[in-house]
Chain A
Amino acid sequence: MAPDRLRPEAQRAVTVNTEPADFDRAEMLEQVGGDRQLVKELVELFLGTSPGHLERVRQAVAAGDAMAVRQAAHALKGAAGCVGAKKVWQVALDLETMGRTADLSRAADSFTALEPALERLRLELVRLLEEGEPG
């Protein structure tokens, strides 16, 4: 991987005309102490586990099960926090709070926001992995 791929300027240049990216590659790399192998593993883990988290949130919201919403959102929030995904983290936190306070009146709206946010994040992470491939 070329070193400038992870420089913030390079990253900002790509996303300048669209919505701001959900995560900051440079910050994430710094967070793991510059260990690119660990970044790769974490991203792969996130890509592997987040659909399950999302599915559990979906079912819990549909069933109106506050406790299940809280637990599923909590797990997704934790994972999102680890890859530095601020938007997904925030929406997951909102859902977790709704679950904890047993007020699911806005849960469906939040879930509607969560789904595309997560999808976008996943695409960004997939791109990060592809760029990270040697050659």
Chain B
Amino acid sequence: MNAPPRGRDLGLMSCHVCRQITAWTEAAHAVCPRCGSALHARKTGSITRAWALLIAAALFYIPANVFPIMRTQSLSSRDDNTILSGIVELWRAGSPGLAAIVFTASIIVPMLKFIILGYLLVSVQRSSGFVSRQRAKLYRFVELVGYWSMLDVFVVAILSALVHFKILSRVEPLPGVVFFGVVVVLTMLSAMSFDPRLIWDNRKTSQ
């Protein structure tokens, strides 16, 4: 066991907001002596909350992909696009590069978040000491890429605001985009409720 000591072992903890180091306390209403925000030794109900939000997000992910997110209406035609068919259309319209970016942001990133957060939660619940350092990195990665999924929501919002020419042509948002926005917000909240410090707690084996 030659892992570096945790704050708990040294009787120290830090403030979430200003990172002031204080003495370790498990008191429910402790506040930071410097900035006055609430102190938590570990985020409260971290695993339960992260699981609940993640499962909710996964459920919403189904209607987000099945229902169309955007309707493009012009004199001659009416197009309902789902996330995937929108990407295909963008690819065909001559910008494969942008289509790849949208595909990454809307399909790959949410999938990665489900898989990574699920894995992190399961491994923490099993007090696994397996590749702890890599798991800590995975967590930071999820936090870093999380909000990029909002890309498609922005596209629909901008287009619906921009393209409004009465009967000539019109873009309208459809329910799918709401579900998708909810998925992104829920996965971000789930990542926020997960406490990465749990990775280093109760490890059965060292390293």
Does A pair with B? no
